[in-house]
Amino acid sequence: MSSPSLLTTINDLILRPEYHDYLSILKGARNGFVYGVKIRFPHALIMSVLFGRGDVQSRIKQIFKATRTHALNLAKFVTIYKTLLLLQRKLNDDKERSADTFIAGLIGGYIVFGERTAINEQIVLYVASRVLASFIPRSFPSKNPPGINGTNKPIPPNAKLFTVFASLTWALVMWLFRHREETINPGMWSSMKYLYLDSNSWDGLKTLLWHNK
C-alpha cells in the first residue's frame, strides 16, 4: 500500500478543526490582498492614463505603489481584525460578545488606516459613507488632489482628528456587518463577505491559498 502524497498530507493537516481559526486568519490576509489588487489596480491605471504626469516608467511605478499599498493595508486590517476577534473569544471562554467586532475594528482601523494619506482617506471615506447609509431604511433585508496618480503622500491637517474618525468608522462598519448586516449596502456587504466570511472556508491547500472557492 502506497504512502499518502505530500499534498494529501498537507490537505489533511489544514482541514483539522483545531487549526481552523488560525488558518482562517491566513486566508483572510490572502483575500484582503487579492481584493485590494482587484480594486486599486484598475482605478490607479485609469487615473494615471487620464490625469497622470511624467513618463511611462514613473506612471507604472505609481500604479504599482498604489496597488501594493491598498492591497497590503487590507491584508493587514483583515489579519489584525480576525486575530483580535479570536483573542477576545479565547479570553471569554470561547464565546463572542457583541462588542468584540467593534473593538477589533476600532484597533485595526487605528493601526492600519489611522494615518491620513490619500489612499487611506479614500478607503475610510468610502467605508464611512456606507456606515451612514446603513441608517437609511431599506425596502429589503490641494495642487495634487488625493488619489490622482495613486499617490499616497501624507495630508497634514487634522491628523489626530482623522485618526479618531478612521478608527470609529472601522469599528462601526465591522459591528454592523456582524450584527446588522441587512443595513449595509449590498456591494459593500459582498466585499466584506469575501474578506471576512469566505476566509473561514476551504477544502484543501488550493482553496486556502490560491482560489477562494
Question: Per-domain residue ranges for the chain?
Answer: 26-135+143-210
Q: Do the beta carbons of residue 192 and residue 154 sit within 8 Å?
A: no
Instruction: Write out the H or E segment, with its range, that includes residue 163.
Output: helix 159-179
Q: Do the beta carbons of residue 130 and residue 184 sit within 8 Å?
A: yes
Q: In the prediction, which pLDDT does 84 show?
A: 97
Q: Is the pLDDT of residue 2 over 60?
A: no
Q: In the prediction, which pLDDT does 144 show?
A: 47
Q: Is the pLDDT of residue 173 over 60?
A: yes
**In degrees to the nearest 10, what's the CA dihedral of 36, 119, 164, 126?**
-70
CA-angle at 146, arms to 142 and 148, nearest 5°: 105
What DSSP character marks residue 47?
A: H
Predicted TM-score (pTM) of the model is 0.71
pLDDT 10s digits, 90-142:
999 999 999 999 999 999 999 999 999 989 999 999 999 888 877 766 555 54
pLDDT 10s digits, 34-66:
999 999 999 888 888 777 778 888 889 999 999
Range with the poorest average pLDDT among 48-57, 83-92, 184-193: 48-57
